[in-house]
Amino acid sequence: MTLTPDPAKPPVPRRNRPKVSVTRSITVYGGVLLLLVLVLFPFYWMVTASIKNFREISIERTLVPREITFKNYYDLFEQTSILWHLFNTAWISCFVTVVTVILASMSAYVLTRFLTPAAEWIARVSLYAYMVPSIVLIIPFYIGLRMAGLVNTHAGLILSYLSFTLPLGIWMMRACFQTIPKTMEEAAVVDGANRFEAFFLIAMPQALPGVVSTAIFVFILCWGEYLYPVVLISSDSLRTITITLDALTGGGQNIKFGLLMAASTVATVPILLIFLFLQRHLVRGFAAGGYE
Amino acid sequence: MAEVVFNSVGKDFGREAVLRDVDFEVRAGAFAALIGPSGCGKSTLLRMIAGLEHIDFGEIYIDGRAMNYLAPKERDVAMVFQNYALYPHMSVAENMLFSLRMARVTRAESNERMWEAARILGLEDLLDRYPRHLSGGQRQRVAMGRAIVRNPKVFLFDEPLSNLDAKLRVQMRAEIKRLHQRLGATMIFVTHDQVEAMTMAEQVIILREGRVEQVGSPLELYDKPANAFVAGFIGSPAMNLVLGTFEVVNGGPCFIPQDGKPITFLPGSLPGAEKTNPGQQYLLGVRPEHIAIPETDPVSGSRKSHGEISAKVVLVEVTGLDTHIVASAAHGEVTILVRGRFNTAAGEQLLLRPDFSRAHVFDAETGVRVD
């Protein structure tokens, strides 16, 4: 007797093949498409408006630009210090991200591995701290920073950013460390590592997807933060990108849409690049951290 | 080679005592198995040797040196974890070299030791692979390799075979045993599987609820269990334990089960029976393999003779090599192990003849052996 299938016999149709209903597919894909349009259309409008002339933006309101012009970008770099403000935003965001990732990883590690009864409480308090709206804290922050002589400085801005990035970072990194089995660090300790070596050489490499997603979240939060810089920063040279965009709205009168859309596009590009570059890690981080 | 001595070792988790007065010695170069039901504290004890748990009471000595306040890395022990705990971001070679890197061993010597361990365990072709690309058995070998390269005084194994399938488990059992013979190092092995403990170890420590019940060689535990718990724990199928009293009826000794008819036996044939007090309750223990089924005369039918009991077959389990029969007697269910094939079916009547010379008597209240 042979076990190979008989070529003369037609293959038996698989009974339990899932039946996909056409209506269901149309509903699902239609929904996804609608969602995509809702999300992507503003981006499309922003990018196309930045390369349209004034007439096309404000009077004709064309969907597809008939004439492509880079005048808006030329004017933007000519008339404003947007590059300098971009640089300010970039370095502050990077600095806050690095500090947050380092401090949050270490705190979250301690909160998951050591102070078990108190840890849950501390972690929760840190989340509550994140939930408090910035607008509630801005005045106390302003007073505190003024007393410390840090109003209108990047140091003050960084401190205020850390007040909301750290709780978020700790919460995310804690979720990440909770998924990493403790036994590997124990194996490392028996293998002769001390606690720091076990943390840096064993736990951290495994927490990398979590680190990447935390870093991206924190970076985006810092990049788009508006309230703290608008209250704390008054000098033009210290401004961040959100304030530049705000200034271009001209307080609601005579909004230069072309310029504003060009500035918005310039402000979006770095974030988009980071996303594209780290997308793979980000998805892995979501899955591993369980904060999907 | 180093001996490991436990001196009144105890451990609390919060208010709960998980280990109490643990006193025993693992001889230098011995293969010892820590065995007991789940939650008996055997893994905790192993972790205390490794330095992963604090020793709350007593002392643990390795090679005459107290371990209580030494960091894990100063104890010179290697541990193989239940889930292997391989570092997922490191290759097999890096996993094995990690401890040597921590000990600042030179690169040349590290590589030499790593290759030697890889040769012993047949890992030469897997050195570049990552743990996620290995099978269960290969991961197990890498975990052992990681321990071997260190050349430690004591090897600790925390249920290392429990994640493997039955066939691989038997294979790895032999491999660990061979490794012990080759290295001659002291090895302490935690398991909840008594077959594993009996086949591998030369010294078995039985724990229950944080206390040591008995320490001895596998055959000592099998032949002379110190108490009813050990008697019931060691051996598969488990020993039959019947509650009852020893009395003298019609001038002859007999055991009267709590719910059942008296079972008579010849004077002096049951060790420990003479030391029993009439009226006091005891547990009579007979291993399933020490109950014979005498052939009955098909014409005259069964006629009970001295010391025999009749029972009705409830269940028959055939392993191929032997037959397990569960039968219902007047005092309750009895398990019988017959070597080879035995033709019977549920509902049939059988005559059982326990071998009283190999039976055990335990005090019903304390569980302690009487002999």
d(CA A144, CA A166): 19
**Which residues have CB under 8 Å from A60's CB, separation 6+?**
none
Q: What pLDDT is recorded for position B320?
A: 87
Statement: residue A140 has pLDDT above 50: yes
Average pLDDT over residues A100-117: 89
Nearest-Cα distance to chain B for A98, in Å, is 23
Nearest-Cα distance to chain B for A153, in Å, is 42
Give me the total of CB pairs closer than 8 Å, taking one residue from chain A and one from chain B: 58
Q: What pLDDT is recorded for position B131?
A: 93
Residue B310 pLDDT grade (very low, low, confident, very high; cuts 50, 70, 90): confident
What does the DSSP 8-state code read for residue A290?
T
Statement: residue A216 has pLDDT above 50: yes
Average pLDDT over residues B195-222: 93
Statement: residue A204 has pLDDT above 50: yes
Which chain B residues have any C-beta within 8 angstroms of a chain A C-beta? Answer: 50-52, 71-73, 77-79, 81-83, 85-89, 98-99, 102-103, 146, 150
Residue B10 pLDDT grade (very low, low, confident, very high; cuts 50, 70, 90): very high
Nearest-Cα distance to chain B for A131, in Å, is 34
Q: Three-state SS across A72-139?
A: HHHHHHHHCCHHHHHHHHHHHHHHHHHHHHHHHHHHHHHHHHCCHHHHHHHHHHHHHHHHCCHHHHHH
Residues within 8 A of B (CB atoms), A 73-102 only: none
| Best residue of B81, B105, B146 to probe chain A, by most A CBs closer than 10 Å | B81
Q: Where are the domains of chain A?
A: 25-69, 83-289
Q: Which residue of A has its CA nearest to B157?
A: A187
Nearest-Cα distance to chain B for A258, in Å, is 49
- Binary contact (A192, B103; C-beta < 8 A): yes
- Binary contact (A202, B87; C-beta < 8 A): yes
Summary mean pLDDT of chain A: 85
Statement: residue A281 has pLDDT above 80: no
- Binary contact (B85, A184; C-beta < 8 A): yes
Residue B296 pLDDT grade (very low, low, confident, very high; cuts 50, 70, 90): low
Nearest-Cα distance to chain A for B156, in Å, is 10
Average pLDDT over residues A20-25: 84
Statement: residue A9 has pLDDT above 60: no
Residue in this structure with the two tokens 């009864």, named with its chain if needed: A117
Nearest-Cα distance to chain A for B259, in Å, is 50
**Residue A197 contacts B where some CB pair is shorter than 8 Å:** yes
- Binary contact (A181, B99; C-beta < 8 A): no
Summarised one tens digit per residue, pLDDT across range B39-67 is 899 999 999 999 999 999 999 999 999 99
Residues of B in Cβ contact (< 8 Å) with A201: 98
Residue A291 pLDDT grade (very low, low, confident, very high; cuts 50, 70, 90): very low
Exposed e or buried b for every residue in A88-113, given b needs 16+ CB within 10 A? bbbebbeebbebbbebbbbbbbbbbb
Which two structure tokens, joined as six digits, stand for A231?
């209250």
Residues of A in Cβ contact (< 8 Å) with B98: 188, 191, 193, 201
Residues of B in Cβ contact (< 8 Å) with A184: 85-88
Q: What pLDDT is recorded for position B301?
A: 52
Residue B259 pLDDT grade (very low, low, confident, very high; cuts 50, 70, 90): confident
Residue A286 pLDDT grade (very low, low, confident, very high; cuts 50, 70, 90): low
Residue in this structure with the two tokens 């105890």, named with its chain if needed: B10
Average pLDDT over residues A26-30: 93
Residues of A in Cβ contact (< 8 Å) with B86: 184, 187
User: Per DSSP, what are the bridge partners of residue B333?
Assistant: B328
Give the predicted TM-score (pTM) of the model: 0.80
**Residue A186 contacts B where some CB pair is shorter than 8 Å:** yes
| Best residue of B15, B43, B48, B73 to probe chain A, by most A CBs closer than 10 Å | B73
Average pLDDT over residues A60-70: 83
Residue in this structure with the two tokens 């094939």, named with its chain if needed: B341
Looking at chain B, the whole-number percentage of residues with pLDDT higher than 70 is: 97
**Residue A179 contacts B where some CB pair is shorter than 8 Å:** no
Pick from A51-65, A227-241, B74-88, B287-301: least confident: B287-301
Nearest to B79 among A187, A202, A205 (CB): A187
Q: Is the dihedral of CA A118, A124, A130, A132 positive or negative?
A: negative
Q: What pLDDT is recorded for position A35?
A: 95
Q: Which residue has the higher pLDDT, B280 or A9?
A: B280
Statement: residue A98 has pLDDT above 50: yes
Residue B299 pLDDT grade (very low, low, confident, very high; cuts 50, 70, 90): low
Pick from A179-193, B42-56, B66-80, B260-274: least confident: B260-274
Q: What pLDDT is recorded for position A262?
A: 92
Q: Which CATH architecture fits A83-289?
A: Orthogonal Bundle (1.10)
Average pLDDT over residues A120-125: 83
Looking at chain A, the whole-number percentage of residues with pLDDT higher than 70 is: 88
Looking at chain B, the whole-number percentage of residues with pLDDT higher than 90 is: 61
Q: What is the DSSP string of B17-36?
A: EEEEEEEEEEPTT-EEEEE-
Summary mean pLDDT of chain B: 90
Residue B266 pLDDT grade (very low, low, confident, very high; cuts 50, 70, 90): confident
- Binary contact (A183, B79; C-beta < 8 A): no
Residues of A in Cβ contact (< 8 Å) with B102: 188, 191-193, 197
Mapping DSSP to helix (H, G, I), strand (E, B) and coil, where does residue B110 land?
A: helix
| Best residue of B70, B77, B89 to probe chain A, by most A CBs closer than 10 Å | B89
Average pLDDT over residues A156-172: 92
Residue B295 pLDDT grade (very low, low, confident, very high; cuts 50, 70, 90): confident
Nearest to A192 among B73, B83, B89 (CB): B73
Statement: residue B28 has pLDDT above 90: yes
Residues of B in Cβ contact (< 8 Å) with A205: 89
HSE toward the beta carbon, residue A74, CA cutoff 13 A: 6
In contact, B272 and B370? CB cutoff 8 Å: yes
Q: What pLDDT is recorded for position A289?
A: 42
Task: Please report the domains of chain B, with CATH numbers, ordered by start residue.
Answer: 4-229 (3.40.50.300), 240-363 (2.40.50.140)
Average pLDDT over residues B229-252: 90
Residue A8 pLDDT grade (very low, low, confident, very high; cuts 50, 70, 90): low
Average pLDDT over residues B116-132: 91
In contact, A62 and A52? CB cutoff 8 Å: yes
| Best residue of B79, B142, B159 to probe chain A, by most A CBs closer than 10 Å | B79
| Best residue of B90, B102, B157 to probe chain A, by most A CBs closer than 10 Å | B102
ipTM metric: 0.83
